[in-house]
């Protein structure tokens, strides 16, 4: 079993290249948000970085997982709400790129009871909003939602500016909405910024690991899942 390296929100950073070189025998899970930088990065460099990540995936299909985040979905999905730092000028390049190579990306990845998504899954959201079946592989359900499940998948919770009483879906879930992560699962997520990898424990055999710390040069390396 190869080690698994989870790389948090990219936002135009090329730091991932050094991480890949440091772990030549690992599998890599990118947690999404490839565009919409916090820093001033030229658009051509943003797109070049995204293309390099896509090439990395195409050359290593079995060892690279590319997840999508809210800062990716809003460029090509009519179901996604446009978030902060949306770039209308880069849209005309990013939208066809994501659309044409959609098969390189996915919403969720699962290995046993380990679940990787951009923002995370709370028990409440999965049961009451998404209406998922906990007895079936969760990633399969998230990657292939029914028409009825799509609105919940893209939902923005109250904490992030959505409707009162709403809980965020896998692209928008806030840390405050993840106090009770999906029962029986260990989750690895980005989206919620942390200075270093941090863990939040539940009380139902559940925990969630936050990894949106690439800006500090930090990432998660799992020698084994267990």
Residue 119: other Cβ atoms inside 10 A: 30
What is the overall mean pLDDT for the chain? 96
Q: With 90 as the cut, is the pLDDT of residue 223 above it?
A: yes
Q: Does residue 72 have a pLDDT over 80?
A: yes
| Mean pLDDT, residues 214-222 | 97
**pTM attached to this predicted model:** 0.97
119 DSSP assignment: S
Share of the chain above pLDDT 70, in %: 100
Coil, strand or helix at 144: coil
Which alpha helices (DSSP H) does 23-87 contain, by range? 43-59, 70-73
SS3 91: helix
Q: How far apart are CA 206 and CA 144, in angstroms?
A: 23
Is the per-residue pLDDT at 1 higher than 90?
Answer: no
CA 148 – CA 32 distance, rounded (Å): 24
Spatial contact of 3 and 113, defined as CB atoms under 8 Å apart: no
Helix axes 43-59, 88-100, angle to 10 degrees: 10
- What pLDDT sits at residue 74? 97
Q: How far is Cα 57 from Cα 54, in angstroms, rounded to an integer?
A: 5
Closest CA to 181 of 138, 125, 132, 131: 125
Bridging pattern class, strands 114-117 and 108-111: antiparallel
């Amino acid at each position: 079993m190869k080690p698994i390296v989870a790389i948090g929100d990219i936002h135009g950073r090329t730091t991932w290249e050094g991480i890949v070189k440091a772990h030549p025998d690992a599998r890599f899970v990118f947690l999404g948000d490839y565009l919409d930088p916090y820093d001033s990065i030229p658009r051509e460099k943003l797109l070049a970085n995204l293309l390099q990540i896509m090439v990395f995936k195409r050359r290593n299909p079995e060892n690279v997982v590319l997840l999508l985040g809210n800062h990716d979905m809003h460029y090509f999905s009519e179901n996604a709400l446009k978030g902060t730092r949306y770039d209308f000028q880069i849209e005309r390049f990013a939208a066809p790129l994501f659309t044409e190579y959609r098969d390189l990306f996915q919403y969720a990845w699962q290995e046993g009871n380990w679940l990787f998504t951009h923002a995370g899954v709370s028990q409440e959201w999965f049961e009451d909003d998404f209406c998922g079946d906990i007895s079936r592989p969760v990633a399969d359900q998230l990657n292939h939602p029914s028409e009825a499940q799509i609105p919940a998948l893209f939902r923005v919770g109250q904490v992030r500016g959505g409707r009162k009483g709403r809980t965020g879906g896998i692209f928008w879930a806030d840390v405050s909405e993840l106090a009770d992560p999906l029962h029986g699962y260990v989750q690895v997520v980005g989206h919620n910024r942390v200075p270093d990898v941090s863990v939040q424990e539940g009380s139902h055999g559940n925990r969630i690991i936050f990894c949106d710390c690439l800006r500090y040069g930090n990432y998660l390396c799992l020698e084994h899942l267990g």
